[in-house]
Chains A and B, each alone.
Chain A
Amino acid sequence: GENVEQHPSTLSVQEGDSAVIKCTYSDSASNYFPWYKQELGKRPQLIIDIRSNVGEKKDQRIAVTLNKTAKHFSLHITETQPEDSAVYFCAASNRNTGNQFYFGTGTSLTVIP
């Protein structure tokens, strides 16, 4: 089955700096890669996603890149703000696995004011 690895497990940045979180996956059939943000005590919420027919996607300060050959994808947050502090999860999925989502182990991001 699919195996998703996520690094780093913790990340601290100064406000205004950029943050990058990286994930790798093992199943070449995976074709959908969402990123979730989970604030303390809250549910995971989708912040951005990318499909395998696209190499990069941006939404304001957030961007995701995908390298299908190397089987890795990354989340980039620019101009970080204190409210970006949360746990971020990457995931991978494909139709062949019955719409199951395989999650990375999470990255705890702290933005220092």
Chain B
Amino acid sequence: DTAVSQTPKYLVTQMGNDKSIKCEQNLGHDTMYWYKQDSKKFLKIMFSYNNKELIINETVPNRFSPKSPDKAHLNLHINSLELGDSAVYFCASSQLAGKVVETQYFGPGTRLLVL
């Protein structure tokens, strides 16, 4: 009954490869997010997405692209992986309830290591 799940938990790959990380939430939320956490533990928003709008952090390279097959899933696809992409990637979800912002729940994280 995990609320927000991600696969895989660990991902080790070579520079230049293309990889995807999957995220699913069973909370019925309408907004999903991807964050990157680097070695300094900073949580950096990459994307937020609901069924109406994709908001992209302007600092995210276009090698990163979110793909949402449906409301419960937001996958992250990364092209041409670079050493600097090594980090922990967290998926999260929250619900927009009219004018009230609801809190977000995080997935367990995917630890990506690019060699």
Which residues of A are in contact with B by a Cβ distance under 8 Å? 31-32, 34, 36, 38, 42-46, 49, 87, 89, 93-95, 98-103, 105-106, 108
- B55 near A98 with CB under 8 A, answer yes
In the complex, chain B residues 56-104 whose Cβ is within 8 Å of any chain A Cβ: 90, 94, 96, 99-104
Binds A, one of B11-19, B20-28, B106-114: B106-114
Q: Which of B31, B41, B90 contacts A99 (CB 8 A)?
A: B31
- Nearest first, the 7 closest Cβ-Cβ pairs linking A and B are A32-B101, A43-B106, A103-B43, A93-B101, A99-B31, A106-B41, A99-B96
- Shortest distance between the CB of B43 and any CB in chain A (Å): 4
- B43 near A100 with CB under 8 A, answer no
For chain A, what secondary structure do more than half of its interface residues adopt (helix, strand, loop), or is it mixed? strand
- A108 near B101 with CB under 8 A, answer no
| Known pairs A45-B106, A99-B48, A100-B45 / 6 extra A-B pairs, C-beta < 8 Å | A42-B108, A43-B90, A99-B94, A100-B55, A101-B94, A101-B104
For chain B, what secondary structure do more than half of its interface residues adopt (helix, strand, loop), or is it mixed? strand
Chain B residues, Cβ within 8 Å of A98: 31, 48, 50, 53, 55
Q: How many residues of B contact A (CB 8 A)?
A: 24
Chain B residues, Cβ within 8 Å of A87: 41
- Shortest distance between the CB of A68 and any CB in chain B (Å): 15
Q: Which of B45, B50, B53, B108 contacts A101 (CB 8 A)?
A: B45
- B42 near A106 with CB under 8 A, answer yes
Chain A residues, Cβ within 8 Å of B33: 100-101
Give Cα distance in the complex from A49 to B105, angstroms.
13
Give Cα distance in the complex from A108 to B41, angstroms.
9
Chain B residues, Cβ within 8 Å of A32: 100-101, 103
Chain B residues, Cβ within 8 Å of A45: 106
Chain A: which residue is nearest B55 at the CB level?
A: A98
Sample of 14 A–B contacts (CB below 8 Å): A32-B100, A34-B103, A34-B104, A43-B90, A43-B107, A94-B101, A95-B100, A98-B50, A98-B53, A101-B33, A101-B94, A103-B45, A105-B42, A108-B41
- B109 near A43 with CB under 8 A, answer yes
- A89 near B45 with CB under 8 A, answer no
Chain B: which residue is nearest A101 at the CB level?
A: B104
